[in-house]
């Protein structure tokens, strides 16, 4: 039995549009979510990944905090830590863009009580329902990267996990190889 959303998506978008800049709001699986403010290590991890992507695939951009429509059973809105897409994909779109053209989304876990539910479960299913080919979860709690790929019926069929320090091959259409040794510098 499906639980109705807390509010219509249009009301969420209006509410999110007037929220202070210190707060990032998302609408995941029909529920209002407050995304934690990232710490310094979180930002360094995103920049590390951005550099890796730019060096290997300069025709792509890793757009931080790009709002995405992740429709499914219920309308949703997410702001992943990064959305990898061809340069120009989001030109002319508003705060909440269609996921068309997005090759990968990235989430870096935060040290808060909702990370497990939000990043490891709800967003994963929302991204899969939206048909985003790859979801990269950089899990600071566990010192791992999980590469979710091959979306099918609201989840990903492939979910290999790699420890920090491993060489990780991101599957097509991303086709980037990550040397993750540097991530050990941000594990505290």
> Taking a C-beta distance cutoff of 8 angstroms, is the pair 84, 116 a contact?
no
Q: Which residues pair with 170 in a beta bridge?
A: 176
Cβ count near 59 (within 10 Å): 8
- Per-residue confidence of the chain (188 residues) as pLDDT tens digits? 456 666 666 766 676 666 666 666 556 666 656 665 666 788 899 999 999 999 999 999 999 989 999 865 456 888 899 999 999 999 999 889 999 999 999 999 876 666 556 667 788 888 999 999 999 999 998 999 999 999 999 899 999 999 999 999 999 999 999 999 999 999 87
Complete domains list, the chain, with CATH: 36-186 (3.90.1570.10)
Q: What is the pTM of this model?
A: 0.82
Render pLDDT for 67-102 as a digit per residue (tens, 0 to 9): 999 865 456 888 899 999 999 999 999 889 999 999
């Amino acid at each position: 039995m499906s639980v109705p959303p807390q509010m219509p998506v249009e009301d969420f978008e209006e509410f999110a549009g007037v929220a202070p800049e210190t707060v990032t709001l998302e609408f995941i699986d029909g529920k209002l979510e407050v995304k934690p403010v990232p710490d310094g290590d979180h930002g360094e991890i995103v920049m590390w990944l951005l550099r890796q992507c730019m060096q290997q695939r300069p025709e792509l951009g890793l757009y931080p905090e790009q709002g995405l429509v992740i429709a499914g059973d219920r309308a949703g809105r997410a702001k992943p830590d990064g959305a990898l897409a061809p340069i120009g994909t989001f030109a002319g779109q508003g705060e909440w863009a269609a996921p068309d053209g997005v090759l990968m989304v990235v989430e870096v876990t935060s040290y808060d009580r909702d990370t497990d539910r939000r990043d490891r479960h709800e967003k994963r299913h929302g991204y899969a329902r939206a048909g985003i080919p790859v979801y990269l979860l950089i899990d600071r709690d566990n010192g791992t990267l999980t590469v979710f790929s091959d979306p099918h019926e609201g989840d990903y069929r492939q979910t290999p996990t790699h420890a920090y320090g491993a060489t990780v091959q991101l599957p097509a259409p991303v086709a980037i190889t990550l040397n993750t040794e540097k991530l050990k510098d941000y594990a505290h």
